[in-house]
Amino acid sequence: MKKILVTGAFGQIGSELVPALQKKFGKDQVVAMGHKTVTSNFDGILEKADTRDKDILASIIKKYDIVDVYHLVSLLSVGGEKDPKVTWDINVGGLKNILELGVEFGLKIFWPSSIAAFGSTTPRDNTPQETILEPTTMYGVTKVTGENLCRYFNIKYGLDVRSVRYPGIISWKTPPSAGTTEYTVAMLYDGVQGKGNTCWLGPDTMLPMMYVNDAIKATIDLMDTPVLKIKLRGSYNLAAVSFTAKQWEEAIRKHIPDLKVSYKPDERQKIADSWPKSIDDSQARADWGWKHEYSLEKMTKEMVENLRKEFSIS
Ligand code: VAH
């Protein structure tokens, strides 16, 4: 049986990817690697390590005879601006360690890029697969660098590394972080708890978004795709739904009629304005059959229902 390593296993994506992989392959086939944030009651194989320590990563890969790696560790748009040097060290240094170990141990690797790889010179509507990549955040710079590293390691060493450019991912199981697109989760959490919400982006801000279930499906589907179908070794554009902050508010209000939202754009507005409004992901759909399942309405219904249970609100 294959042993799978998930780094960044306790972040927004990892905390849902690990259970999905455990369900598919069995708990004893998945190693969850965390660093500072580790869920106390985690049920599975747990390792704590810093992605910048290549020797520790190598020891984990040897200890469990790892075959597949989902390398999710990353500082995001807002956190990444607080200390750009650390962001580079973690996001690029960590990825380079994993790619080098991938060559050494013959690993198959998944690594997420992001719409943050695009910048204000990128066409914002139906952003094409091949386009201008001039990001204005260190997070975005590390994603463009990472895409080039993945492509180089595939060309130079034949490393089987696969990647998608995640849009804003929306989930309910982890509380909202301060990320640019997390205004969505923050509005939902406040609404379900009957609190007023102050949205840090303007009401007309449109961004490409995706429910976490779709993101997990795309991630596992890409790793399961026969290698001959993978035509792109930088990172595939990936999309589901695009909506404005006002449309998000209105979708939530269908379930929470007394939702109160005020709009007070902050420094994150500049980041959002440098990202696309919508994405052309036709190559992912053509090469490996990508298809999203969650509409804006379907995701808000599912999230409100789950958060009401989570907060014991009828
Ligand atoms: C952020 N949620 O806002 C992340 C995401 C595309 C944005 O990577 O930084």
What are 146-164's pLDDT values in tens digits? 999 999 999 999 999 999 9
Fold annotation for 3-168+210-237: Rossmann fold (3.40.50)
Q: Which residues of 81-103 are buried (b: 16+ CB within 10 A; e: fewer)?
A: beeeeebbbbbbebbbbbbbbbe
The reply to whether ligand 1 has any atom less than 6 angstroms from the CB of 182 is yes
CA 46 to ligand 1 center in whole angstroms: 26
The reply to whether ligand 1 has any atom less than 6 angstroms from the CB of 60 is no
The reply to whether ligand 1 has any atom less than 6 angstroms from the CB of 179 is yes
Closest ligand 1 atom to Cα of 77: 9
CA 143 to ligand 1 center in whole angstroms: 12
Predicted confidence (pLDDT) per residue in 167-211, tens digit: 999 999 989 988 999 999 999 999 999 999 999 999 999 999 999
Q: Whose CA is nearest to atom 9 of ligand 1?
A: 77
Instruction: Quote the pLDDT of residue 101.
Output: 98
Closest CA to 282 of 242, 241, 239: 239
Predicted confidence (pLDDT) per residue in 220-256, tens digit: 999 999 999 999 999 999 999 999 999 999 999 999 9
Q: Are 116 and 69 in contact (CB under 8 A)?
A: no
Closest ligand 1 atom to Cα of 169: 2
pLDDT tier for residue 1 given thresholds of 50, 70 and 90:
low
φ, ψ (nearest 5 deg) of residue 95: -65, -45
Burial of 273 (0-12, 13-18, 19+ CB in 10 A): middle
Going from N- to C-terminal start, the domains of the chain cover: 3-168+210-237, 169-208+242-277+294-310
Q: Are 151 and 234 in contact (CB under 8 A)?
A: yes
The reply to whether ligand 1 has any atom less than 6 angstroms from the CB of 13 is no
Burial of 200 (0-12, 13-18, 19+ CB in 10 A): buried
CA 139 to ligand 1 center in whole angstroms: 9
Select from 12, 74, 114 the residue to mutate for testing ligand 1; criterion: most ligand atoms less than 8 Å from CB. Answer: 114
CA 257 to ligand 1 center in whole angstroms: 28
Region 279-304: what's the mean pLDDT?
A: 98
Distance of CA 292 to the CA centre of its chain: 15
What is the rounded distance in angstroms from the CA atom of residue 186 to the CA atom of residue 261? 11
pLDDT tier for residue 214 given thresholds of 50, 70 and 90:
very high
Per-residue CA distances from 307 to 41, 224, 251 (Å): 20, 31, 15
Q: Whose CA is nearest to atom 6 of ligand 1?
A: 168
Predicted confidence (pLDDT) per residue in 28-71, tens digit: 999 999 998 787 889 999 999 999 999 999 999 999 999 999 99
Predicted confidence (pLDDT) per residue in 109-128, tens digit: 999 999 999 999 999 999 99
Instruction: Quote the pLDDT of residue 40.
Output: 80
Instruction: Quote the pLDDT of residue 7.
Output: 98
Instruction: Quote the pLDDT of residue 41.
Output: 87
Per-residue CA distances from 68 to 105, 232, 287 (Å): 10, 19, 21
φ, ψ (nearest 5 deg) of residue 111: -140, 130
What is the rounded distance in angstroms from the CA atom of residue 209 to the CA atom of residue 212? 9
**pTM listed for this prediction:** 0.96
CATH architecture of residue range(s) 169-208+242-277+294-310: Alpha-Beta Complex (3.90)
Q: How many other CB atoms sit within 10 Å of the CB of residue 66?
A: 20
The residues carrying an active-site annotation are 139
Angle between helix 94-105 and 138-157 (nearest 10): 20
